Amino acid sequence: MSLINLKPKVTSIIKDSSESTVSRLTKICEVLKDSVAYYDWVGFYFANHEARTLHLQAYAGEATDHTVIPFGKGICGQVAVSNENFVVPDVKAQDNYIACSISVKAEIVVPLFKDGKNIGQIDIDSSTKDPFTKEDEVFLEWMNAEVASIL
């Protein structure tokens, strides 16, 4: 499915105020994972700035041991520090990579801002090497801006 075609689904989930925020985030993860062939694991991490850690709040895909990630560690931890998107075409080429699964070949992490502050991120793993494009980044930036409206 085209990422553009996912916008109405994501918007509908976000606007469903009868569901809790975590439930809506989980549904977004599930829709992305189920709709985009190369999105094999999708999760939202949120920052605890005092402890300098990220905490997994919602995800779709295999369970992970990486529910708390220190700032600076792995791709997610680096995004918590840099406040910039990080696209990894080949995780084997990254020195500071935390392996979540042997099948992961690529990763994209896009920070989530609320009132100008990096409060979290969406993290997507793919078992396909180098699948992410600028279209993925633009879509995920849009989606994170929409998600910020319910946080």
Q: How many domains does the chain have?
A: 1
CATH number at residue 94: 3.30.450.40
How many angstroms separate the Cα of 129 from the Cα of each of 7, 41, 100, 133? 25, 14, 15, 12
User: By C-alpha distance, which of 7, 13, 66 is closest to 41?
Assistant: 66
Q: pLDDT at position 43, please?
A: 97
Return per-residue pLDDT of the chain as tens, 151 residues: 689 999 999 999 999 999 999 999 999 999 999 999 999 999 999 999 999 999 999 999 999 989 999 999 999 999 999 999 999 998 777 766 666 667 889 999 999 999 999 999 999 999 999 999 999 999 999 999 999 999 9
Rounded to whole angstroms, how far apart are CA atoms 71 and 82?
A: 10
Domain of residue 88: give its range.
3-148
